[in-house]
Chains A and B, each alone.
Chain A
Amino acid sequence: MKSISARQSGIIVFLTILANKILVLPSAMYEKSKTDSIFALIAIFAFELLVLACFFALKKAYPEQNLKEILSKKMGCVAAKVIIFAFLIFFLFKTMLTYAVLYVYLKDLVYQDEFGFLALVCLFPVVNHAVVCGLRAMGRTFELFYYIVLVGVLFCLCIAFFTNISMPNFFVASPLEIFHSGFRHIFAFGDYLVLFLFIDKIKLKKGEEKKIFLFALVGIILVLAIFIIFYAKYQVTAFMHNNALADLLVFSVQFNAIGRLDIIAMLTIMTLGLFQLEIFQAAFCESFVQIFDKLSVKYGVIVFDILFLVIYLVLIKKYEIMLSFATDYLVYFAILTNIVLPVLIYVLSRRHKKETYDEKND
């Protein structure tokens, strides 16, 4: 089996933590809980780190099996397939949301006109190709680009930090508003559930969990820094700026010799967006293959493309609607996938541990 290393898994976690959080989310959360959105963010990230710990517990208990095999053992094949189907739906909409966020950014700041078809033409073949190439090739690509992406994000933060900003005021929203803000945008989180789907493809040696945690922490710190600097820069007008990372540079200094530095944000966002799409579509296809075990990834890609085209172009048509769809309806579904399922899986791994312990004692 073509597996990926702990480092590559960590980079996948890093990339997924940044997914959907560096463009629309800061301004969307600001609408509900102002600068105190940071606290909602911290709370969700803390929970997500626990989910990551659940993943390690599960990996320790079942080092070689895939999610379907683990769930089938404990709950039967049908229940296992239902849970994986939930993941399939989650990642289908997750990919679509990422497409939507990227589309809005490209339309607003890069191409300044209708871009829908061009975006599909550009992104679809590359994402499909990456998914067909497999997780190992993808992992290696992410590994190669990791520092480039990291430097790109840090560059945007530094440029914004050293232009006119003032520390935002915190503790302006009530706890209920903070909770409401976190709740409404929960669909933008839970991204590293992808690890559960690729559990059998991750090669994890003893002690390498720390590596993944480290990458997760780097991602979390970066997201928090983007939020804080974004709020510091735009203050009360933060809700108007829908492309946080890019907007950090929009009103920054123009260097006469090299022109505007937006190009750095542009390249970083495009690369990040592309990688996130690849990860989510790969997760969709992996769920598909685990449900329909006689079909290959290629069928998963075809099914995804058809579903995507039907839902986007026929049912929803406007990309922007996808964003409100995520905050209005997908929230309830995300609670199931982001909270209920990881907890359930953790309980299973604990039970397995207990059974193994009992067997040994017998």
Chain B
Amino acid sequence: MENNVEKYIENLKSQFHQNSDFASRLFVCQKGKIGFVFLKSMSDPILFSQCIYLPIQSFDGQITKQNLIDKILKNSGVETVQEEKVFAEILDGKVIVFSDFFEGFISVDITKYPTRTPSEPPTSPVIQGPREGFVEDFKTNITLLRRRIHSKDLVFKMMTVGSHTKTKVILSYIDGVADSGVIKELEEKIGKIKINGVVDSYYILSYLEKRPNSLFKQIGNSEKPDVVVSKMLEGKVAIIVDNSPIVLTVPFILMEDMQSSNDYYTNHHYSSVVRFIRMCGLLIAIVAPGFYLALQLFHYNILPLNFLITIADTTQGLPFTPFLEILFIFLLFQILYEVSLRLPSYLGLATSVVGALILGDTGVKAGLISPPGVIITALAKIALYTVPEQQSQITVLQIVFIILGGSLGVLGIVTGFVYVVNYLNTLDDYKTPYLAPYAPRVKEDLKDALLKSSITEKHSLPKSFPTGKRGAK
């Protein structure tokens, strides 16, 4: 290093492929030269000049490594680092200080990059309760959790994933409450991930699932710190991934998606009713179009006479068979949904008008589709959003049940439903039965399942999945 400050800067610059955001400064003092290297895009140049360059320039004493650390650089994040960590530190937005008259490197934290301030997540708004949401910056996310759990047992374990992105993945749990077996398994799985880059937490999620090809989600997620904290208090492990506002939680049971953070901030009797409605919504969303088809095609004698007459009247002269009609309406709704997701918000109203009035109303008047078909499909599509976390799964199941109901009748619906439940019962990632606390029945956890008891009745940790205190027994 000695007498080679310029050469070392050049070397670093070439290693960074002469990047335009690569910045270097040289300071010459009586003892020799001091080099500074950082990335302009990740660090704050003003902070650099005010907290690093100017203090060195105006220092009256002898500049030594110890003086630099103790007296001159007064930032909070000053530390000596080994040469092999220099790249990682620069990439993290830190300034590397080195010289020809002392050994080693000093890293100074002047990181500054654009981050979003925590705001209410668009996917999970609440009427009552905290409105903060996670952001893309992992440090802010850690703060959001730490602020809610004032405990020395709150642990954050950092790991790096992605050969190019070197993304930080943080395992967070409350020591003694989370199960050590689950933590160990997660550490092993994350440690074994071999991937070029991690763009979002979903990339990690696929590696943590025991059946990555399954339709059903096996890992929980949330954008809200209060939800993640309550899960951690129950003994779950949170996984924060840098650059993603979605925090993953493990283990996961289906009942979690039936619960909303709102349930815990309102009267528990009301929460029970809402959860029951949500469950009905889920069933209607999955089965309604298929069941309607089954009744219309195979078991019309069961329908009330007036309804049967209405169906007969409205379906007369339609160009499609009932099966194709429902599929067509379903496709129409799905296209409108996809369009509304991608269109700018100012065009949303236009989409609604085109969708509801022109396509729906005119479609019925033109005799392409029938009003009962539109109502049933719309009902299923709206009911889907009672459990928005399961939206993608329900959409696929809707298609499956339309095919089953249309081709095999009620027997197709029943067998399909039993098949799905049987399959879900084989999912027991992290020793957690997917349909607990109902299958198997865990009596203690029924207090916070479809029916919710008062918060005063909830004293112990859940028994549906492994937790620390139970593991210690």
- A271 touches B (CB below 8 Å): yes
The CA of A260 and the CA of B302, in the complex, are separated in Å by 5
B440 touches A122 (CB 8 A): no
Q: A110: which of B410, B435, B439, B441 is its contact (CB, 8 Å)?
A: B410
Extra A-B contacts (12), CB below 8 Å, given A140-B439, A270-B414:
A8-B440, A126-B415, A133-B422, A141-B418, A141-B421, A141-B439, A144-B435, A255-B304, A259-B302, A266-B410, A270-B411, A271-B414
Taking CB atoms, residues of chain A closer than 8 Å to B307 are 259
- A31 in contact (CB, < 8 A): no
**What is the 8 Å Cβ interface bit string for chain A, positions 250-293, against chain B (1 contact, 0 not)?**
00000111111011001100110011000000000000000000
Q: Which B residues from 372 to 430 make CB contacts under 8 A with A?
A: 408-412, 414-416, 418-419, 421-423, 425-426
Task: State in angstroms the CA–CA spacing of A260 and B306 once bound together.
Answer: 12
Is B426 within 8 A of A133, CB to CB? yes
Q: Which of B298-327 touch A at CB < 8 Å?
A: 298-299, 301-307
A66 cross-chain contacts in B, Cβ below 8 A: none
> CA–CA, A89 to B301, complex, Å?
40
- Indicate if the CB atoms of B423 and A143 lie closer than 8 Å: no
Which residues of B are found within 8 Å of A111, using beta-carbon distances?
298, 409
Within A127-169, the residues touching B (CB, 8 Å) are 129-130, 133-134, 136-141, 143-145
The answer to whether the Cβ of A235 comes within 8 Å of any Cβ in the partner chain is: no
B438 an interface residue at 8 Å Cβ cutoff?
A: yes
Contacts of A270 in B (CB 8 A): 410-411, 414-415
* B residues less than 8 Å from A7 (CB atoms): 440-441
B416 nearest CB neighbor, chain A only? A126
Is A106's CB within 8 Å of the partner chain B? yes
**Contacts A110-B410, A267-B410 hold; do A143 and B302 have CB atoms under 8 A apart?**
no
Q: How far is A122 from B414 in the complex, measured between Cα atoms in Å?
A: 10
Restricting to A287-337, which residues have a CB under 8 Å from any CB of B?
none
The answer, yes or no, to whether B433 is at the interface (CB within 8 Å) is yes
Interface size classification for chain A: 35 or more
Cα distance A259–B416 in the bound complex, in angstroms: 24
Query: Hey, which chain A residues are within 8 Å of B433, CB to CB?
Result: 140
Shortest Cβ gap from B451 to chain A (Å): 13
Bound complex: CA of A230 vs CA of B354, how far in Å?
Answer: 56
Instruction: Give the distance to chain B from A263, nearest Cβ to Cβ, in Å.
Output: 5
Nearest residue in B to A259 (C-beta to C-beta)?
B304
Contacts A111-B409, A143-B438, A270-B410 given: A137-B422 contact, CB under 8 Å?
Answer: yes
Q: What is the CA–CA distance of A209 and B307 in the complex, to the nearest angstrom?
A: 50
Task: Check A140–B425 contact: CB distance below 8 A.
Answer: yes
Chain B residues with CB below 8 A from A137, complex form: 422, 425-426
The reply to whether A144 and B438 contact each other, CB–CB distance below 8 Å, is yes
29 pairs, CB–CB < 8 Å, chain A vs chain B: A7-B441, A111-B298, A118-B408, A119-B411, A122-B412, A123-B411, A123-B415, A125-B419, A126-B422, A129-B419, A133-B425, A133-B426, A134-B426, A136-B425, A137-B425, A140-B440, A141-B418, A143-B438, A144-B421, A144-B438, A144-B439, A145-B421, A256-B306, A259-B302, A263-B299, A270-B414, A271-B418, A274-B415, A274-B418
CA of A129 to CA of B416, assembled, Å = 11
Interface size band for B: 20 to 34
**Bound form: Cα–Cα A274–B412 in Å:** 12
CA–CA, A129 and B426, complex, Å: 11
Q: For the complex, what is the distance from the CA of A106 to the CA of B410, rounded to whole Å?
A: 11
Measured between C-beta atoms, what is the minimum distance from A192 to chain B in Å? 20
B interface footprint on A81-106 (CB within 8 Å = 1, 0 otherwise) = 00000000000000000000000001
SS of B interface (majority) = helix
Shortest CB-to-CB span from A136 to chain B, Å, is 8
Contact call B440/A263, Cβ cutoff below 8 A: no
- Give complex CA distance A252, B303 in Å: 15
A126-B415, A141-B418 known; A263 and B410 CB under 8 Å?
yes
Minimum C-beta distance from B283 to chain A (A): 11
Q: Which residues of B does A touch, CB under 8 Å?
A: 298-299, 301-307, 408-412, 414-416, 418-419, 421-423, 425-426, 433, 435, 438-441
Asked if A176 is an interface residue, CB under 8 A from chain B, the answer is: no
Task: Please name the residue on chain A nearest to B300 by beta carbon.
Answer: A259
Tell me whether A141 and B422 are in contact (CB under 8 A). Answer: yes
Q: Which residue of A lies closest to B301 (CB)?
A: A260
* A43 CB to nearest chain B CB (Å): 34
Q: A260 CA to B299 CA in the complex, in Å?
A: 11
The chain A residue sitting closest to B436, CB to CB, is A140
Q: Which A residues are closer than 8 A to B by beta carbons?
A: 5, 7-8, 106, 110-111, 118-119, 121-123, 125-126, 129-130, 133-134, 136-141, 143-145, 255-260, 262-263, 266-267, 270-271, 274-275
Q: Which residues from chain A contact B425 at a C-beta distance below 8 Å?
A: 133, 136-138, 140-141, 144
CA distance A125 to B423 in the complex (A): 12
Cβ A129 vs Cβ B410 within 8 A: no
The closest CB in chain B to the CB of A143 belongs to: B439
Q: Which residues of B contact A145 (CB under 8 A)?
A: 418, 421
Nearest 7 A-B pairs (CB), nearest first?
A140-B439, A259-B304, A137-B425, A144-B439, A140-B425, A270-B414, A126-B415
**Complex: chain A residue closest to B291, CB-CB:** A263
Bound-state CA distance A122–B440 (Å) is 27
A262 to B295, CA, bound (A): 12
Report the separation of the CA atoms of residues A152 and B342 in the bound assembly, to the nearest whole angstrom: 45
Q: Given A270-B411, A271-B418, A263–B302 Cβ distance below 8 Å?
A: yes
Which residues of B have CB within 8 Å of A110? Answer: 298-299, 409-411
Q: Which residue of A lies closest to B411 (CB)?
A: A122
Chain A residue nearest to B303 in the complex (CB):
A259
**Contact A256 to B304, CB < 8 A, known contacts A111-B298, A141-B422:** yes
- Chain A residues closer than 8 Å to B298, beta-carbon distance: 110-111
Whole-angstrom distance from the CB of B76 to the nearest CB of chain A?
Answer: 53
A129 touches B414 (CB 8 A): no
Residues of chain B lying within 8 A (CB to CB) of residue A125: 419
Cross-chain contact A106 with B419 (CB below 8 angstroms): no
CA distance A275 to B417 in the complex (A): 12
The answer to whether A121 and B418 have CB atoms under 8 Å apart is no
Q: Which residues of B contact A271 (CB under 8 A)?
A: 414, 418
Assess whether A256 is in contact with B305, with CB atoms less than 8 Å apart.
yes
A145 vs B441: C-alpha distance when bound (angstroms)? 12
Q: Which residues of chain A are near B423, meaning CB under 8 Å?
A: 129, 133
Query: How far, in Å, is B103 (CB) from chain A's closest CB?
Result: 61
Residues of B within 8 A of A123 (CB): 411, 415
Nearest B-chain residue to A139, judged by Cβ: B440
Q: How far is the CA of A168 from the CA of B412 in the complex (A)?
A: 38
A122 to B412, CA, bound (A): 6
Q: Are A122 and B408 in contact (CB under 8 A)?
A: yes
- How far does the alpha carbon of A123 sit from the alpha carbon of B438 in the complex, in Å? 25
Taken together as a complex, chains A and B put the C-alpha atoms of A263 and B298 apart, in Å, by 12
In the complex, how many angstroms separate the beta carbon of A106 from the nearest chain B beta carbon?
7
User: What chain B residues lie within 8 Å of A122 (beta carbons)?
Assistant: 408, 411-412, 415
Residue on A nearest B427 in the bound complex, by CB: A137
Bound CA span A263–B299, Å: 9
Q: How far is the CA of A123 from the CA of B419 in the complex (A)?
A: 10
With a cutoff of 8 Å between Cβ atoms, the chain A residues found around residue B306 in the complex are 256
Across-interface contacts of A119 in B (CB, < 8 A)? 411
CB of A106 within 8 A of CB of B411, answer: yes
A331 to B428, CA, bound (A): 42
> For residue A144, which residues in chain B have a CB less than 8 angstroms away from its CB?
421, 425, 435, 438-439
**Structural contact, A126 and B418, CB atoms closer than 8 A:** yes
Q: Which residues of A contact B408 (CB under 8 A)?
A: 118, 121-122
> Does A138 contact B304, Cβ atoms closer than 8 Å?
no
